[in-house]
Amino acid sequence: MEGVDHLADERKKAEFNVEAMKIVWAGSQHNLEVSNRISKLVADDPAFRKDDRTMLPRKELFKNTLRKAAYAWKRINELRLSEEEASKLRFYVDETAYTDLHWGMFIPAIKGQGTDEQQRKWLPLAYKMQIIGCYAQTELGHGSNVQGLETTATFDPHTDEFVIHSPTLTSSKWWPGGLGKVSTHAVTYARLIIDGKDHGVHGFIVQLRSLEDHRPLPGITVGDIGMKFGNGAYNTMDNGVLRFDHVRIPRNQMLMKVSQVTREGKYKQSDVPRQLVYGTMVYVRQRIVADASCYLSRAVCIATRYSAVRRQFGSQNGGPETQVIDYKTQQSRLFPLLASAYAFRFVGEWLEWLYTDVMQRLQANDFSTLPEAHACTAGLKSLTTSVTADGIEECRKLCGGHGYLCTSGLPELFAVYVPACTYEGDNIVLLLQVARFLMKTVSQIGTGKQPVGTIAYMGRIEHLMQCRCNVQRGFAELSADLVEAAVAHCQLIVVSKFIEKLQQDIPGEGVKQQLEALCGIYYLSLLHKHQGDFLATSYLTPKQSALANDQLRALYSKVRPNAIALVDAFNYSDHFLSSILGRYDGNVYPKLYEAAWKDPLNESVVPDGYHEYVRPLLKQQLHTARL
Ligand SMILES: CCC/C=C/C(=O)SCCNC(=O)CCNC(=O)[C@H](O)C(C)(C)COP(=O)([O-])OP(=O)([O-])OC[C@H]1O[C@@H](n2cnc3c(N)ncnc32)[C@H](O)[C@@H]1OP(=O)([O-])[O-]
Ligand SMILES: Cc1cc2nc3c(=O)[nH]c(=O)nc-3n(C[C@H](O)[C@H](O)[C@H](O)COP(=O)(O)OP(=O)(O)OC[C@H]3O[C@@H](n4cnc5c(N)ncnc54)[C@H](O)[C@@H]3O)c2cc1C
């Protein structure tokens, strides 16, 4: 029934102040206020409609994305939105687009790797969208191995220019978002060659298309790489292919904060670590961790609400059947994901702090925390995206058959999210970076150097102090085990940041108690999953392990009456969730029924193709039957 809240009884069960929890989730009262205002602005505007996205053919879908991006920009300007509000608007529009790369990578690359002069020249153009940029690093032949890139930027001292060239097919840029059809410029990564000497990979600003008629400039071949996984989803993005045929750019378009090339062709390295060339990736990995909680919480919100609506079995004396959320098996799959969404929110907040801290230290020429920042961003990006991608799929299964319908919102959410396990660093490749950092730390403990920050605990592990290890020896052979160690290290960070959050003053009746229960579910479910390892290494006795499992089950029961309120605290509008199963009012069945009739296949009673392909078969069967 329209207007009735089918989840009202569930909401009455809540034992905490939901409004106060919304503030905790949003990060502050101010953030909540901005989110409320901007999400309503988007939801109320029919121009931002997205319920037809999975049914549109690619060209129409893409054009629609261009329209939405242009309209969003128009509204941002008309309403004079601040940068914070504008980025919230893009978030609630919820459509992957070339603008993500423009704001999320092109501008940060110039900010992070450009000199002050370069920033003064390029940033105002980019901020006004008078140029549109992308981040062109990956090539057909190499993505993970950045040092293996083949594109060259050869300095020509006669003209004071770089010649950008793609020497092989495998050196074609391949994947950059926004490149295929829209970007006018790209921060392009290429090997710097001066006087025959290869100085490794550097970033260059290259114009790709004319600002007049949008045609590729001479020497540039550019296009889209084709359809990707799923309907709608990431196909709103023009991931592209790009080849350079001796394209000339002025010398001052090499990003020169980290290293410079002089007029005379001398290569100079600033007093900063070379790894800062990778700085944009560190920035984006940190953002991806913050985003993971958004994606996971969306899926969990849908699955939790639907689990309270859905009933199967267990009817007594003709009474209602059991809500599937009351099955312990459903809780043991759902509640750890609910807890993970909160855990990732808090670790994301902390990582943002860590990143800001590292940036401030870099300004003061203190590079000491850079390796830890790299390990944390790489490792947490890997952990949170893997858990989130698997978690979205688990939420689909938690919704049974209806979860497989596009109108559940889950298939598109999965399709749009799953490449996060690959982009911005393949998750295994990133964990190997963490493993390398851990091994290096162990090798230094032996020499008496005390580890600090997220690795301080290693200094307290007795047997590590006796370790004498060489970082390279056996690394490849043991890499699968080392990856597991890296995951465990990252899980420890997530748990410890959750616990630190609980040590803060958290206002609101019952809020802290709910968070404590979720934190318990988070670490006890990990303990449960890995209890074999804990038992094998005698870190747990069988008795302790059994007690931990009892405690975990008790926490599921504690969270159960609060489950709906805990997902309401994410504060997602029906427009943003875009899911019939996750509707705030729980009015699932009538809306599923209604939506089915809107499918294009139901526009006619007899389908297109019946007369050509079905009727002849039926006739043939009649004929055979008569024989
Ligand atoms: C959002 C959607 C859009 C998506 C966009 C994209 O996907 S864009 C494309 C995204 N593409 C990718 O994400 C590609 C992924 N690949 C990579 O990032 C790199 O190729 C690599 C890190 C795997 C290897 O790096 P390498 O070949 O240089 O070799 P190496 O391992 O020998 O390391 C040497 C030293 O450098 C250190 N160090 C490394 N990175 C960093 C850092 N960021 N910061 C600080 N430090 C760093 C490392 O710890 C080591 O230190 P140590 O031990 O000597 O003290
Ligand atoms: C949707 C999407 C958007 C993207 N956007 C951009 C963009 O805007 N700009 C851009 O420049 N790039 C972009 N990329 C490219 C992306 O960054 C790369 O695909 C990613 O870094 C992985 O690299 P790869 O494709 O070379 O994988 P590969 O390295 O070829 O991975 C293949 C397999 O090999 C394994 N492997 C590789 N190296 C090792 C190793 N050393 N040890 C053990 N196993 C290993 C991996 O784990 C994986 O299983 C995007 C990719 C996608 C999917």
Its ipTM equals 0.99
C-alpha of residue 150 to centroid of ligand 1, in Å = 17
pTM for the full predicted model: 0.97
C-alpha of residue 434 to centroid of ligand 1, in Å = 11
In this prediction, residue 354 carries a pLDDT of 96
In this prediction, residue 450 carries a pLDDT of 87
- What's the angle, vertex CA 334, arms to CA 285 and CA 553, rounded to 5? 120
In this prediction, residue 449 carries a pLDDT of 85
- The answer to whether residue 291 scores a pLDDT higher than 90 is yes
Give which of 392, 105, 394, 62 is closest to 228, Cα–Cα.
Answer: 62
Q: What is the mean pLDDT of residues 551-563?
A: 98
- The answer to whether residue 613 scores a pLDDT higher than 60 is yes
Q: Which atom of ligand 2 is nearest to the CA of 425?
A: 21
- The answer to whether residue 538 scores a pLDDT higher than 60 is yes
Rg, the chain, Cα only: 27
Q: What is the mean pLDDT of residues 456-462?
A: 86
The pLDDT tens digits for 238-284 are 999 999 999 999 999 999 999 999 999 999 988 888 888 899 999 99
C-alpha of residue 423 to centroid of ligand 2, in Å = 6
Give residue 92's identity as a one-letter amino acid code.
Answer: Y
In this prediction, residue 466 carries a pLDDT of 66
The pLDDT tens digits for 334-371 are 999 999 999 999 999 999 999 999 999 988 989 999 99
Q: Which atom of ligand 1 is nearest to the CA of 436?
A: 53
Confidence category of residue 73, pLDDT binned at 50, 70, 90: very high
In this prediction, residue 446 carries a pLDDT of 77
What the block records as the tokens of 304 is 């939790």
Residue whose CA lies nearest to ligand 2 atom number 7: 176
The pLDDT tens digits for 6-55 are 999 999 999 999 999 999 999 999 999 999 999 999 999 999 999 889 99
Q: Which atom of ligand 2 is nearest to the CA of 138?
A: 11
- The answer to whether residue 473 scores a pLDDT higher than 90 is no
Measured distance CA(386)–CA(366) in Å, rounded? 32
Measured distance CA(456)–CA(474) in Å, rounded? 24
Residue whose CA lies nearest to ligand 1 atom number 37: 275
Q: Which is catalytic among the residues 139, 372, 394, 424?
A: 424
Ligand 2 pocket test, candidate residues 137, 421, 422, 483, most atoms within 8 A of CB:
422
Ligand 2 pocket test, candidate residues 140, 423, 472, most atoms within 8 A of CB:
423
- The answer to whether residue 624 scores a pLDDT higher than 70 is no
What share of the chain has pLDDT > 70, as a percent? 97
Residues with CB under 6 A from ligand 1: 135, 137-138, 144-147, 177, 275, 278, 281-282, 284, 370-371, 374, 423-425, 429, 433, 436, 440
Residue whose CA lies nearest to ligand 2 atom number 16: 423
In this prediction, residue 93 carries a pLDDT of 97
Measured distance CA(253)–CA(206) in Å, rounded? 7
What is the SS3 assignment for 199?
strand
Do 21 and 569 contact (CB within 8 A), yes or no?
yes
Residue whose CA lies nearest to ligand 1 atom number 36: 275
Domain at 131-275: CATH code: 2.40.110.10
What the block records as the tokens of 284 is 């984006």
What share of the chain has pLDDT > 90, as a percent? 91
Confidence category of residue 462, pLDDT binned at 50, 70, 90: confident
C-alpha of residue 153 to centroid of ligand 1, in Å = 21
Q: Which atom of ligand 2 is nearest to the CA of 134?
A: 8
Measured distance CA(80)–CA(171) in Å, rounded? 42
Residue 424 bears catalytic tag = yes
User: What do you get for the CA distance between the two ends of the chain, in Å?
Assistant: 54
In this prediction, residue 626 carries a pLDDT of 58
Query: Chain-wide mean pLDDT for the chain?
Result: 95
Residue whose CA lies nearest to ligand 2 atom number 47: 428
Question: Where do the domains of the chain lie?
Answer: 131-275
- The answer to whether residue 216 scores a pLDDT higher than 90 is yes
C-alpha of residue 136 to centroid of ligand 1, in Å = 15
Measured distance CA(285)–CA(105) in Å, rounded? 11
Measured distance CA(17)–CA(480) in Å, rounded? 45
Ligand 1 pocket test, candidate residues 139, 277, 424, most atoms within 8 A of CB:
424
